Structure 1
Amino acid sequence: MHVSGRVIAHSRADGLPSWPYPRWIAHRGAGRLAPENTLAAFALGHAHGYRMFECDVRLSADGVPFLLHDDRLERTTDGRGEALGHDWAALARLDAGAWHAPRHAGERLATLEAVVAFCHAHGCALNVELKPAPGDELRTARVVGAQLALIWRGTPAPLLSSFSVIALEAAAVTAPALPRGLLLERFCGDWLATAQRLGCVAVIGEQSAWNAQWATQARAAGLRMLAYTVNTDEDAERLLGLGLDGLITDRVDHFSPDGAPGQCLQ
């Protein structure tokens, strides 16, 4: 299998502008095949042909943006306690790989700056989920948005996403040129009005929550549609049938990002 290093946009037949991101997006770097949110995971996802990555970004106590999904350190590092309670110098010494497999022992937490450098070097796009610790929404969005606006080169720009309305509001002020996506576990309440008020270009819904009604509403509003986390052929086929623009997957060794949508690796 050969995959070009270029990020290739795919067009739509519904009159919306060309979407500048690949359809298949690697979740947390390489899904579950490597320690999530580490450079090892990005390298493995890239080796499987993926050219866009989703990752979770939060801040250390001293304001360094780095990749970590959980508020606490125990699940994916040898550290303890709330991540927000540690300066980056302490976080940088943690082992973020041994929990996954012995061969990954010694893998370190990745800074956002290091991940951006990886994407620049390999021609990859990025979906940065703002994952602030409780109460740290404003600071996280402002720092991450400002850093991305400063250090990202070329197109397409990183897609900023979050479940936090507060974070997306702050990102819109700090880095208005960066596209935003509203993350949703369920389509309820005024989700569409919220996405529009925030100036979002996309809605990123939990994969089982998408149906024809929500897809029709999002499309009519001019919003792009993405889903997380798409790990079965049946789910991929259903979502592609609804016209989704992006599928975030753990199964980078199963879904081929350069073949026909939904094609699997053999």
Structure 2
Amino acid sequence: MREAGVRCLPLNVVGSVACAFGAAFSACVFQQQLMASLYLAVIVVALACYGIQRAALPRVDDALAAEVILGGEQGDGGSPLPLVFAHRGGGHDAPENTLAAIREAKRNNASGIEFDLSFTHDSVAVLFHDETLERTTDGEGLLAATTFEALRRLDAASKHAFAERFRGERVPTVEEGVEECLRLGLRLIVDVKEYDHRAVALVDELFRKRPELYRRALVASFYPQFIYALRRQNPGIVTALTWRPGFVAYEDVENLRPRFKSFVKHWIARVGDWLLERALHGGVLPHLTGASAVLVCKNALSAQYVRSWRDQGLHLIAWTPNHPAEKEFLRKVLRVPIITDTLRHA
């Protein structure tokens, strides 16, 4: 029996109103959660930026970096031309990473030498690129498992096209390579093959023993953590970050040989490349490490790409053009220094 003056709503209307209130409440809760997540994300990003800013290392003086990287060759008509560095001493002209290659590069009018720093089993720093001995010497096995005494007995020219001319050439120590470059008046790019505390201590000691290196040498690596550790220990060294597309996931420049057989590891490496590329080109890594330059594979270069780095106040060096037309384009059109395997057509 309905009481007088009381009007009851139909059940379907009550249900609809309840649903509407429930949906509105849920939407409100979701919005609050979303806003809280956004606020948290903003706080995390702000803290990360603050941390990077606090941890960032200042670059060396721009004039010093330009002196090391750009030099002052004179081209046609008296206009300065970017420098030419002999890759591993000019591995097409003489056995790579040897004193003979350094001397040959000097005879072929190189501006400087790029060489690789690696360690033997007994922690002697040597000029050597590969992890194994077979490609460039008459030895076998891992460099890291070979003592310096054993390495010194190997012929570093045995696999070279001009083996007869350079027969008996030995693998030099890093100190021998540096001394030869300085004796011949050559600039240096020291390429550190991996992040290793021994390399940090060694490079720091080399610069302190030979102060002229501060104005003659550039230290480069694919590993930003090495550049950061080195510059924290010795902030006066001019450094560069080395990069090519696919470095984490692929062994070769053409990105044809994956580093990992596992599908999962390969795709994790691909993600690593994506993150590395954005951290580098977004300016995070150059800012954090205080690097003055980037060494980039020639295949990635264009006029716009070169301009983008110059807009950030960074120098760019291209590796490794070997065709005369490539070299001319990079040096005379894009106006960048180059690292090449042969000086015969520089």
Give TM-score scaled by structure 1 length. Answer: 0.82
Equivalent of 2:309 in 215, 218, 221: 218
Residue 242 of structure 1 aligns with an amino acid whose one-letter code is L
Q: 1:145 to 1:167 in 2, by over 3 A?
A: same
Partner of residue 28, structure 1: 88
Say which is worse superposed, 143-152 or 100-109, in terms of deviation.
143-152
Cα deviations across residues 25-70 of structure 1 (Å, max 9, x unaligned)? Answer: 1111123111000001001001111131000111112221111110
Equivalent of 1:236 in 299, 303, 327: 327
Q: Indicate if the aligned counterparts of 2:68 and 2:238 stay in contact, CA closer than 8 A.
A: no
Q: 1:20 to 1:30 in 2, by over 3 A?
A: same
Residues 1:55 and 2:147 aligned together? no
Residue 177 of structure 1 aligns with an amino acid whose one-letter code is G
Greater helix fraction, Structure 1 or Structure 2: 2
Partner of residue 81, structure 1: 141
Superposition CA RMSD, Å: 1.9
Q: 1:61 to 1:176 in 2, by over 3 A?
A: farther
Identity %: 32
Paired residues in the alignment total 235
Aligned positions of 1:140-159 closer than 5 A: 140-154=198-212, 156-159=215-218
Residues 1:160 and 2:160 aligned together? no
Residue 310 of structure 2 aligns with an amino acid whose one-letter code is R
Alpha-carbon distance between aligned partners in 2 of 1:199 and 1:239, rounded to the nearest angstrom: 25
Alpha-carbon distance between aligned partners in 1 of 2:233 and 2:97, rounded to the nearest angstrom: 24
Gaps of 5+ in 1: 1-15, 256-266
Partner of residue 175, structure 1: 234
**Structure index of larger Rg:** 2
Q: 1:174 to 1:60 in 2, by over 3 A?
A: farther
**Alpha-carbon deviation of 1:119?**
1.6
Alpha-carbon distance between aligned partners in 1 of 2:123 and 2:234, rounded to the nearest angstrom: 17
Alpha-carbon distance between aligned partners in 2 of 1:157 and 1:140, rounded to the nearest angstrom: 22
Cα deviations across residues 184-223 of structure 1 (Å, max 9, x unaligned)? Answer: 1139322132122111010110011012332122101110
Q: 1:130 to 1:140 in 2, by over 3 A?
A: farther
Equivalent of 1:201 in 292, 310, 323: 292
Partner of residue 264, structure 1: none
Instruction: Report the 3-state secondary structure (helix = DSSP H, G, I; strand = E; otherwise coil) of the residue aligned with 1:248.
Output: strand
Say which is worse superposed, 79-88 or 184-193, in terms of deviation.
184-193
**Alpha-carbon deviation of 1:24?**
1.0
Cα deviations across residues 224-245 of structure 1 (Å, max 9, x unaligned)? Answer: 110000112332243232332x
Partner of residue 67, structure 2: 19
Instruction: Report the 3-state secondary structure (helix = DSSP H, G, I; strand = E; otherwise coil) of the residue aligned with 1:107.
Output: coil
Q: Indicate if the aligned counterparts of 1:28 and 1:55 stay in contact, CA closer than 8 A.
A: yes
Partner of residue 248, structure 2: none
Q: Indicate if the aligned counterparts of 1:120 and 1:153 stay in contact, CA closer than 8 A.
A: no
Residue 230 of structure 1 aligns with an amino acid whose one-letter code is P
Alpha-carbon distance between aligned partners in 1 of 2:315 and 2:187, rounded to the nearest angstrom: 16
Q: Indicate if the aligned counterparts of 1:57 and 1:69 stay in contact, CA closer than 8 A.
A: yes
Q: Indicate if the aligned counterparts of 1:29 and 1:37 stay in contact, CA closer than 8 A.
A: yes
Partner of residue 113, structure 1: 175
